[in-house]
Amino acid sequence: MEFDFRNWKIHVGTPHPFNDEVPRPDNGTARPDPSRYYEPRFWRDEWDKVFTRTWLLAGVVSDIPEPGDYLRFDIGSESFIVVRDEDGSIKAHYNVCPHRGSQIALDHLGSVGQFVCPFHSWRFNLDGSNAQVTDAETFHPDVLCHGTDLTSVRCEEAAGLIFVSMNPDVPPLKDYLGEVADHLALYRIDEMNVIQHKRSEWAANWKGGVDAFYEIYHLHSVHPQTQCVMDDRTQIDLYPNGISRQFVPFAQPSPRFPDQQSVNAGIQMMLNDAGIDPAAYQGTAQESRAAIQQAKRRRSEQHGLGYERFSDTQLSDSTIYGIFPNVQIGCHPEAVFIHRFLPHPTDPEQFTYDTMILFKHEDIPGYNAPAWMGLAEGTDTTGAVRPDVVHVPLGQPPELGEVLDQDSELLPIVQQGARSRGFRGPLWSEQEARLRHFHVELDRYLTGEKLWGQG
- Rounded Cα distance between 371 and 360, Å, is 15
Beta-strand pair 193-202/390-392: parallel
Using CA atoms, how far residue 66 sits from 71, 90, 173, 404, 428, in Å, is: 12, 10, 23, 34, 46
User: Residues 34, 423: contact at Cβ < 8 Å?
Assistant: yes
Under DSSP, is residue 288 helix (H, G, I), strand (E, B) or coil? helix
What amino acid occupies position 316? S
Under DSSP, is residue 304 helix (H, G, I), strand (E, B) or coil? coil
User: CB under 8 Å to 196, separation ≥6 — which residues?
Assistant: 355, 356, 357, 375, 376, 379, 387
pLDDT at 4: 66
Q: Which parts of 307-381 fold into alpha helices (H)? A: 312-316
Q: What pLDDT, in 10s, does the model give residues 89-103?
A: 999 999 999 999 999
**φ, ψ (nearest 5 deg) of residue 441:** -65, -40
The rounded mean pLDDT for the chain is: 95
What amino acid occupies position 217? Y
pLDDT at 401: 86
User: Residues 399, 392: contact at Cβ < 8 Å?
Assistant: yes
pLDDT at 455: 37
- Rounded Cα distance between 402 and 14, Å, is 34
Residue 343, pLDDT > 60, answer yes
Confidence band (pLDDT; 50, 70, 90) for 3?
A: low
Residue 61, pLDDT > 60, answer yes
Establish how many alpha carbons lie within 13 A of residue 324's alpha carbon, considering only the half-sphere containing its beta carbon: 27
Confidence band (pLDDT; 50, 70, 90) for 454?
A: very low
Confidence band (pLDDT; 50, 70, 90) for 2?
A: low
pLDDT at 15: 95
- Rounded Cα distance between 100 and 267, Å, is 58
Question: Can you tell me the mean pLDDT for 409-421?
Answer: 95
User: Residues 325, 205: contact at Cβ < 8 Å?
Assistant: no
- Rounded Cα distance between 408 and 209, Å, is 9
> Percentage of the chain with pLDDT > 70?
98
Confidence band (pLDDT; 50, 70, 90) for 393?
A: very high
- Rounded Cα distance between 399 and 224, Å, is 19
The secondary structure of residue 47, as a DSSP letter, is I
Q: What pLDDT, in 10s, does the model give residues 370-392?
A: 999 989 888 999 999 999 999 99
Under DSSP, is residue 179 helix (H, G, I), strand (E, B) or coil? helix
